[in-house]
Amino acid sequence: MLKIGFSGIPDSGKTSLMLELKKTLGIKYNIDIIDDISNKSPFDENKETNFISQFYYFSTQINEENKKSIKSPELLFCDKTIFDQWIYWKKYLSKVGENKQLTEKNEVIKTIYDYWINTYDFIFFIRVDPSVMENRKIIHSLRDELPNKDSNIESLYIKTIKKEKPNIIEIWNNKDINETIYKLAGKISEKLESTNGN
């Protein structure tokens, strides 16, 4: 099984790309998907953004991926990944500041993240120019619709990728969706061929 994540900021088109790619590759491969877990949140994020709610996202992301992996699909697509949860955690830390208790909690989160990020065969980091993004109508997930959304969240993604160097492939989604799908399918096919020893 290949586990492939679709990561990026709200409105980048990751969900649409993932679903279209499933249609394209689903003709040949058994594919399962993990929906964005933000839609299942029991928290009112406007009032309850704290360690408990953030830990929920980490644990739920891992649990959902484990449950789907048991079915052993050939390809498992994840709409958001533990990397996205890590970015939101870092965003939360930057807002609340440092203290001893939070430092200890961060060690717990980081240990989980450091282990789980290596379970993906790779993650597509979907990017799009702001001008293109504004012209698209995208359905937002719960967390993406929060007021006062941090406009610099993409900068946090980019800085983290440069610093930590996870197995992430940057894909620009500025043009026709079919062109982007072709690029994504090509990367996945290359990985499948190398995995199968062809």
Assess whether pLDDT exceeds 90 at residue 141: no
Please state, in angstroms and rounded to a whole number, the distance separating the CA atoms of residues 80 and 15: 9
Query: Residue 77: which domain range?
Result: 2-196
Q: What pLDDT, on the 0 to 100 scale, is given for residue 145?
A: 44
Q: How confident is the model at residue 176 (pLDDT cuts 50, 70, 90)?
A: confident
Q: For residue range 63-109, what is the model confidence (pLDDT) as tens digits?
A: 999 999 999 999 999 999 999 999 999 998 888 877 888 899 999 99
DSSP 136: S
Q: Across the chain, what does the average pLDDT equal?
A: 86
Q: What pLDDT, on the 0 to 100 scale, is given for residue 38?
A: 83
Contact 181, 20 (CB under 8 A): yes
Q: Sign of the C-alpha dihedral, residues 176, 177, 182, 187?
A: positive
Q: For residue range 39-70, what is the model confidence (pLDDT) as tens digits?
A: 777 776 555 567 888 899 999 999 999 999 99
CATH of the domain at 50: 3.40.50.300
Q: What pLDDT, on the 0 to 100 scale, is given for residue 66?
A: 96
Q: What pLDDT, on the 0 to 100 scale, is given for residue 44?
A: 67
Q: What pLDDT, on the 0 to 100 scale, is given for residue 197?
A: 65
Q: Among residues of the chain, what percentage have pLDDT more than 90?
A: 61
For the chain, the first-to-last Cα distance in angstroms comes to 16
Task: Report the pLDDT averaged over residues 142-171.
Answer: 78
Q: What pLDDT, on the 0 to 100 scale, is given for residue 48?
A: 53
Number of domains in the chain: 1
Instruction: Please tell me the least confidently modeled range out of 83-97, 104-118, 184-198.
Output: 184-198
By three-state DSSP, how is residue 78 classified?
Answer: strand
Max Cα-Cα span within the chain: 52
